[in-house]
């Protein structure tokens, strides 16, 4: 059974997926839910891209410590994505600047691109999911 499924995916169509993160973590459940979707997509050998823009960039801010909130700090998971061959992470430069942040504030290697470049990147995707 497991083997049949694997063959089916190997011969299946690979689409360009983009998950667009626009919300800060912890205040709402969106960031964690998108991360779940990303991890699921990794199991289907799709061409996964992750974008962080607007408040979404706070998801990959270094130094998150949720102890006093009693919530799980899920930020280390972004560093583990590399192990699932998810390495196409993009951050919008304008969003960083508006928030007084730089690439050094982020906990994973990313490609920083302009809003115009982000728009063009989105336009080239087969599937775009934003939250």
Partner 1 sequence: MSTLHTVNKSPFERSSLQACLGHAQASDSVLLIEDAVMAALSGTAFAAKLADAGQSIKLFVLGPDLKARGLDPAKVVNGITVIDYDGFVDLAAENSTIHSWL
DSSP, residue by residue, the chain: -HHHHHHHHHTS---EEEEEE-S-TTTSSHHHHHHHHHHHHHTTT-EEEEEE-GGGGGGGBTT---GGGT----THHHHHGGGGT--EEEEEHHHHHHTT--GGGBSS--EEE-HHHHHHHHHT-SEEEE-
**Residue 76 contacts partner 1 per CB under 8 A:** no
Residue of the chain from 36, 45, 82, 98 that contacts partner 1 (CB under 8 A): 98
> CB under 8 A: which stretch of 7-15, 22-30, 32-40, 85-93 binds partner 1?
22-30
How far apart are CB 93 and partner 1 at their closest, in Å? 14
Least Å from the CB of residue 48 to partner 1 = 24
According to the binding rule CB under 8 A, does residue 66 interact with partner 1?
yes
Residues numbered 26 to 65 that lie near partner 1 (CB under 8 A) are 26-28, 54-55, 58, 61-65
Task: Point out which residues bind partner 1 (CB under 8 A).
Answer: 23-28, 54-55, 58, 61-69, 71, 73, 75, 98-101, 105, 107
């Amino acid at each position: 059974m497991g083997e049949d499924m694997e063959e089916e995916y190997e011969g299946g169509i690979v689409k360009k997926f983009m998950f667009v993160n626009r919300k800060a973590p912890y205040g709402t459940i969106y960031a964690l839910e998108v991360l779940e979707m990303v991890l699921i997509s990794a199991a289907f050998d799709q061409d996964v891209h992750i974008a962080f823009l607007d408040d979404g960039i706070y998801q990959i801010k270094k130094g998150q410590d949720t102890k006093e909130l009693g919530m799980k700090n899920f930020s280390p998971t972004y560093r583990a994505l590399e192990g699932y061959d998810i390495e196409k992470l993009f951050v919008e430069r304008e969003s960083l600047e508006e928030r007084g942040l730089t690439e050094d504030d982020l906990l994973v290697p990313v490609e920083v691109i302009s809003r115009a470049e982000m728009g063009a990147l989105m336009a080239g995707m087969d599937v775009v999911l934003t939250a």
